[in-house]
């Protein structure tokens, strides 16, 4: 069953006997590891380990910008005392799989602007021209960073460490969010990738936090949606697979077999067609058509119309991926999705923001006159 970030994490931590493999992100790892819901993964049983990109295995690897917050490597390796760190050992907490570098998207067809040229900062999320048609993702370890980066870029607040904000900084961000909700600048937030697709299509949104599959889905509908490449950098994330604590024997063997299949290339090619990168790029390259590899990984103009994961034409010939090549985008990370030290406080404040936004939406619906027709 598909679940959103928050629900999946709660299920993983509290009902570890209800699943065999946990598919989430490194910033969601601390809670499930703390509750011992998952078990260490033996590197020796991962066939493609030596072929894996260093982005998740080493801090600031391959000349990337590194970025603040929960870098994957910082909680990758299981230490002898069962703590997690970047110190390499023979066991890992989560198998690095898909990842990406996110920002926000704009419907440039409706807005009549060149996103690459005219939108250069996270502060665009606060631009009054988008009043009432701006949305953030409802996940505190993601949406709060989008909002804070916009506030900092606009000069409305300062943050000592974006990846690990203080109580006072979270409170300041919260105050700005309340103002933006009450003024009607923010439209209701979203949780699932399909939501912004429909809301952009309906004209409810013009600009929003975005995940790459949503952009590809909108392009497949013929919409002129473009992801921005902010000068401040991307908000990055890295996904992975975990083993449930209860697995043993044949079921554990089956889980390792699944892990090795997932890294064998085919799954990575499917992920590439919705804009995601995979931790074993050369295996993906062996499966992707060369035109697809050139567009998704190399940042070259599409040589022809390219398909989404369902085979529908989504990328038009001549299009160039926003932000360019993998290497260019990887060097431009501002912060990783993070569960900071004050995460619990952030969640409480974030939930109040969501409650306020929902209450405002309910009032607006109640105030809208109902149409009555007579036959």
Question: What confidence tens digit (pLDDT) does each residue in 43-53 have?
Answer: 999 999 999 99
Measured N-to-C along each axis, helices 140-153 and 343-367 cross at an angle, to the nearest 10 degrees, of 80
Task: Give the dihedral sign, CA 317/320/322/327.
Answer: positive
3-class secondary structure, 139: coil
Give the model's pLDDT for residue 30. 84
State the Cα–Cα distance between residues 134 and 127, nearest whole angstrom.
9
Paired tokens of 14: 């509290």
State the Cα–Cα distance between residues 167 and 92, nearest whole angstrom.
31
Furthest C-alpha separation in the chain: 77
Q: What is the pTM of this model?
A: 0.92
- Asked if 181 and 357 count as a contact pair (C-beta separation under 8 A), the reply is yes
State the Cα–Cα distance between residues 375 and 373, nearest whole angstrom.
7
Give the model's pLDDT for residue 372. 41
Closest C-alpha among 43, 40, 42, 6 to residue 24: 6
- Asked if 104 and 146 count as a contact pair (C-beta separation under 8 A), the reply is yes
State the Cα–Cα distance between residues 69 and 188, nearest whole angstrom.
27
Find where tokens 């992100």 sit: 25
Give the model's pLDDT for residue 218. 96
State the Cα–Cα distance between residues 98 and 100, nearest whole angstrom.
7
Which residue ranges of the chain lie beneath pLDDT 50?
62-63, 371-375
Give the model's pLDDT for residue 112. 80
* Entry field: residues in the chain: 375
Provide the H-helix boundaries in the chain.
5-14, 29-34, 54-57, 108-111, 115-118, 140-153, 167-182, 194-202, 212-220, 249-262, 266-272, 281-285, 290-296, 326-330, 343-367
State the Cα–Cα distance between residues 144 and 15, nearest whole angstrom.
27
Give the model's pLDDT for residue 374. 41
Give the model's pLDDT for residue 59. 75
Buried b (16+ CB within 10 A) or exposed e, 208-227: bbbbbbbbbbbbbeebebbb
Paired tokens of 314: 């989504």
Closest C-alpha among 284, 276, 332 to residue 51: 284
Local structure of residue 186 (DSSP, 8 states): B
Residue 42: beta bridge partners? 91
């Amino acid at each position: 069953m598909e679940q959103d970030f928050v629900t999946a994490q709660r299920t993983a931590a509290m009902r570890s006997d209800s699943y065999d493999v946990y598919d989430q992100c490194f910033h969601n790892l601390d809670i499930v590891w703390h509750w011992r819901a998952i078990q260490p993964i033996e590197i020796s049983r991962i066939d493609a380990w030596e072929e894996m990109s260093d982005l998740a295995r080493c801090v600031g690897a391959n000349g990337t910008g590194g970025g603040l917050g929960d870098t994957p490597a910082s909680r990758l390796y299981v230490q002898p005392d069962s703590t997690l760190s970047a110190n390499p050992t023979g066991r890992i907490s989560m198998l690095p799989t898909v990842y990406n570098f996110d920002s926000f998207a704009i419907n440039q067809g409706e807005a009549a602007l060149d996103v690459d040229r005219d939108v250069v900062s996270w502060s665009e999320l606060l631009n009054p021209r988008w009043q009432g048609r701006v949305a953030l993702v409802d996940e505190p370890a993601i949406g709060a960073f989008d909002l804070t980066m916009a506030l900092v870029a606009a000069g409305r607040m300062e943050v000592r460490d974006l990846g690990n904000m203080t109580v006072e900084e979270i409170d300041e961000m919260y105050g700005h969010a309340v103002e933006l909700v009450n003024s009607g600048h923010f439209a209701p937030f979203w949780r699932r990738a399909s939501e912004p697709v429909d809301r952009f299509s309906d004209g409810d949104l013009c600009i929003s936090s975005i995940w790459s599959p949503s952009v590809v889905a909108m392009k497949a509908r013929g919409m002129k949606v473009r992801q921005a490449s902010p000068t401040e950098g991307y908000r990055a994330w890295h996904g992975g697979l975990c083993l449930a604590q209860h697995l043993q024997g044949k079921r554990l063997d089956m889980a390792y077999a699944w892990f090795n299949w997932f890294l064998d290339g085919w799954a990575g090619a499917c992920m590439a067609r919705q804009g995601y990168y995979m931790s074993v790029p050369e295996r993906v390259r062996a499966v992707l058509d060369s035109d697809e590899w050139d567009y998704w990984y190399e940042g070259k103009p599409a040589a022809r119309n390219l398909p989404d994961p369902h085979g529908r034409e989504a990328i038009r010939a001549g299009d160039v991926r926003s932000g360019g090549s993998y290497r260019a985008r990887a060097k431009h990370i501002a912060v990783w999705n993070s569960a900071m030290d004050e995460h619990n406080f952030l969640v409480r404040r974030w939930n109040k923001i969501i409650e306020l936004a929902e209450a405002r939406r309910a009032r607006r619906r109640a105030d809208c006159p109902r149409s009555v027709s007579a036959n």
